[in-house]
Amino acid sequence: MKLKSLYKLEKKAKEVWIVSPDLYYDTENDEFKNIVTHNLHNNTKYRYIVPNTRSVIKHLNKYQKDQTIPKDLTKEMFLLLPPSEFNPFLNELAIYDPNGSKPVACLAVWRDCNESDEVLSFDKDMTLELVKRFKTLWKKYKRENP
């Protein structure tokens, strides 16, 4: 899948789940930052699993300021995992419309890419497995559905 297609996918999504080691795309990448802003204003539901590290807290504060969202909504949107629970080698993973009939999971491989670059997307079975694992972790720490 091309990055340009991924932009379109996120713009159309009603719900997005993201596992990120640093929130880079949502705070430092202008294209994704603008899409998130647009989507939040159109009631797209975002859920994030991130490690509880200083750099993530810094990016989380930037995210909250950039997106002008209240702290109580931030608490609802983000699951901060102990670093020991978070795989530090994981690249950013996004799951689009996880509760829809055709969820799509993609993995970002590098940061400096352009619209014509390829993005790794998972097949249906792996996507469903990732949805299941996201829900399991979310429920373990938040004790509710994402």
Which CATH number covers residue 28? 3.30.870.10
Residue ranges in the chain whose pLDDT is less than 50? none
Number of domains in the chain: 1
pLDDT attached to residue 3:
83
What domain range is 125 assigned to? Answer: 3-142
pLDDT attached to residue 136:
94
- Residue 46: beta bridge partners? 16
pLDDT attached to residue 129:
93
**Rounded to 5 degrees, what angle do the CA atoms 122, 133, 139 make?**
145
Comparing CA positions, the residue from 1, 50, 64, 43 lying closest to residue 22 is 50
Strand ranges, E, within 34-121: 45-51, 78-81, 93-96, 104-107, 120-121
Distance, CA of 59 to CA of 102 (rounded, Å):
30
pLDDT attached to residue 87:
72
The answer to whether residues 146 and 17 touch, using CB atoms and an 8 Å cutoff, is yes
pLDDT attached to residue 112:
67
Distance, CA of 138 to CA of 130 (rounded, Å):
12
pLDDT attached to residue 89:
63
